[in-house]
Structures are given as C-alpha cells and as structure tokens.
Amino acid sequence: MPTMADVARSAGVSVATVSHVLNGTRPVLPHTRQAVLDAMDELGYTPNTLARSLVTSRTRSIGLAVSAISNPYFTEILQGVEAETLRHGYSLLIADPHDDPAHERKVVQLLHERRVDGMIVAPSAEPGELLAYLDRHRVPTVLLDRVVEGPPHFDQVCAENTGPTSLLVTHLAGLGHRRIGLVAGLPGLSTSGERLAGYRSGLTAAGLSYDEQLVAYGDSASAGAERATAALLSLADPPTALVTANNAMTIGALRALRDRGLSVPGDLALCCFDDFAWADLFSPRLTAIAQPSKELGAEAVRVLLARLAAPDRPAGTVRLPCTFVHRSSCGCAEPPARSTQFETSEKFEKFEKGPDS
Ligand code: HPA
C-alpha cells in the first residue's frame, strides 16, 4: 500500500504539503496541488480517513435522521442533503427513526457513536428524550422540517406552513366555499400545528368561522386520511371543499372520494399542501403548495457546517418560502401551466392587503 511519504517523494514535495492538500489545512499552489493529486492517482494512494480522524477528532461525516424516506418529500430532502454534503467534502450516514420516539433516540445514539461531526434530524412528535440526549452530549445539530420551541435551542431549518395553508383556504373561500374541511396531520408535529393554525387564520381572513367538526385528523398518513375524509363526508352538513395537510394524506383523501364515486372539483374542491411529481397527472390536476424540499436539505447542511465552524454563535431558525402551484382541483378553469406559480409569502402579503391588490 503506498503511503503519504511515497506520494510526497513522487511529487517532489514534503509530507506536510501532501497533508495540506488532503485536509485543506493550508492553501497550496495550484501546480503543486496538481502534482500531489497526480502522484496519488499514479500510485493508487487512498487516504485513510479513520487514521486521519484519530489525529483531527473529526470524521468529516454528518448523520441524517429523517423518517418516511420513501415519501417523495423526504426523498427530495435527502437528495438536497446528499448533494450539499458531497459538495463540501463530507460523507453522509443515514438512519430512519420511523417517527417513533424510542427508535429515534436509538438511531441518533448510533450515529453519535460513529462520531459524525454533526447531525440533521427531523424530530418525531415526542422529541423530549431525543433533544435531551443531543443537548447532553453537545452534538452539533440542525432540526429539519419540524421545529421545536423553547430550550434547549438548536439551529432549525423548515418551510413556511402557516401562510401557505391560509392561502389555500382563502383561495377556496374566494371561489365561494363556506364549508371548507381540513384533513390535519399528526398532533405534536410542528408542521401539523402550523398548518392547522394557517387553516384557522385563512378562515378568519375570509370572514368564516371555525367549526371543529370540519377538522379531521389523518395522522399525517394515507390510511388515516382516508378515514378522516370519510368522517368529514358523512357529516350531516359535509364540506364542499377540502384542504389536505400533506402529500400522503392527499392520496388517502382521493381514495375516500373515489370509493364514494365523488368527483373533484364537481362534488368537492380540493387543495393540497405538498406538491409531488405526479400531482399534475391526476384529473383534474392538483392545486398544491410546493415545498422547497431539496433546498431545505441543502440549507440544513449549510447551517450545520456554519455551526461546526462557529460553535458558540447563537442558534437560529431559517424558514424557506413555499410556492403556490395553481392547477384545477380547486375548481378554477385550468390555468396555464407555469404562469400562476408564485412564492406564497409574497401572495400572502398581497392577500393581507386585499386579494385584488
Ligand atoms: N413534514 C412536512 N411536509 C410533509 C411531511 C412532514 O412530515 N410529510 C409529508 N409532507
């Protein structure tokens, strides 16, 4: 096995220079750097990252713990994390906590035992133990997607939830709907709570009162949403329009409607939180809020690396805007494909001033 000394000899430089090229610890002249890289290539030299970690106490790896990685939303987050991690010369270890507090705590401990330099975690609905563990072990951590209020304070990266959900409600109200139902997510997740708050503020903005009968909990999952939608449809005075609070629950709601032979938007208008690749293949095409999923993943990596570089700076929360993708399940005539996409925060501000401004 060729060693660093072999590389140094072949490139005509010192071992220290080879080390600086490998670790980026000091700037090296471009032609010297190239000579070192060429020598490594020629000799078939592979750096031993384990040996390097023993010297630096850094593994140049980060851990990612997100549940439901088969859900396209989280798959795209993963793509964003992976690309940004690689761009910065870090490697990635992935775990799925299955949205289960005990399992979550266990996989995060395993990642920590692997001595990842930091972690990106989408916490479950009961994150108490997890957060206590991360705090106790001082693991540099970014909470992703689901935010947590109060101490211990962590850096957090998430999408806007309240304004965009409110926009879906005001859009439906603007089309004349007075009974707008919500298929809400699992209580305890900040995304569920914020989308519920957005639903309520949309009703208020549209001059409609809140009726708790029109909110059914779908557990953030397809099967739960199917049951929740069925319950809403069997009300004595059922909703004429529905907002579903994530992509999986949209699928469940559509199943419940299909099983009852109800059509969208003729029998019931539908607006969804979460866009997904095949949302425009449904007939009618689904009006949806698109989350910046890849960008959320990439931003979480940037925030984590900034934390590693400056461990003592105060923690902060980054919120990224969503996009309203106006199609036709809301009951509007089919709008031109791209012309009615806009960032929800911008439209929401406009709506505050009045829908026509
Ligand atoms: N959070 C945010 N958006 C989502 C989720 C979630 O857990 N699941 C599907 N879309």
Phi, psi dihedrals of residue 324, rounded to the nearest 5°: -85, 120
Residue nearest to atom 8 of ligand 1 (CA): 246
Closest CA to 272 of 222, 201, 309: 222
Residues 123 and 231 placed together within one structural domain of the fold: no
68 vs 184 pLDDT, higher one: 184
Domain that holds residue 39: 4-47
Residues 91 and 20 in one domain: no
Q: How far apart are CA 165 and CA 272, in angstroms?
A: 9
Query: Do 216 and 272 belong together in one domain?
Result: yes
Mutate to test the pocket of ligand 1, among 66, 67, 70, 71 (most ligand atoms within 8 A of CB): 71
| Cα–Cα distance measured from residue 80 to residue 292, given in angstroms and rounded to the nearest whole number | 10
Instruction: Judge if 197 and 342 occupy the same domain.
Output: yes
**Nearest-CA residue for atom 3 of ligand 1:** 246
| pTM listed for this prediction | 0.88
With cut-offs at 50, 70 and 90, classify the pLDDT of residue 347. low
The CATH number of the domain holding residue 147 is 3.40.50.2300
pLDDT at 283: 83
Probe ligand 1: pick from 146, 162, 274, max atoms within 8 Å of CB?
A: 274
Whether 241 is in a domain gets the answer yes
pLDDT tens digits along 162-174: 999 999 999 999 9
The CATH number given to whatever domain includes residue 25 is 1.10.260.40
Residues 196 and 279 in one domain: yes
Residue 237 lies in a domain: yes
Ligand 1 centroid to 247 CA: how many Å? Answer: 7
- Both 137 and 36 in one domain: the answer is no
Q: Are residues 258 and 207 in the same domain?
A: yes
Which atom of ligand 1 is closest in space to residue 161's alpha carbon?
2
Probe residue for ligand 1, chosen from 220, 244, 319 as the CB with the greatest number of ligand atoms within 8 Å: 220
Contacts of 24 (CB under 8 A, 6+ apart): 89
* Ligand 1 atom with least separation from CA of 189: 7
Pair (190, 338) in one structural domain: yes
- Nearest Cα to Cα of residue 139 among 129, 124, 154, 128: 154
Token look-up 């040996």 returns 51
139 φ, ψ (degrees, to nearest 5): -80, 120
What separation in Å is there between the alpha carbon of 354 and the centre of ligand 1? 30
**For the chain, how many structural domains are there in total?**
3
Closest by CA to 108, choosing from 84, 129, 81, 80, is: 129
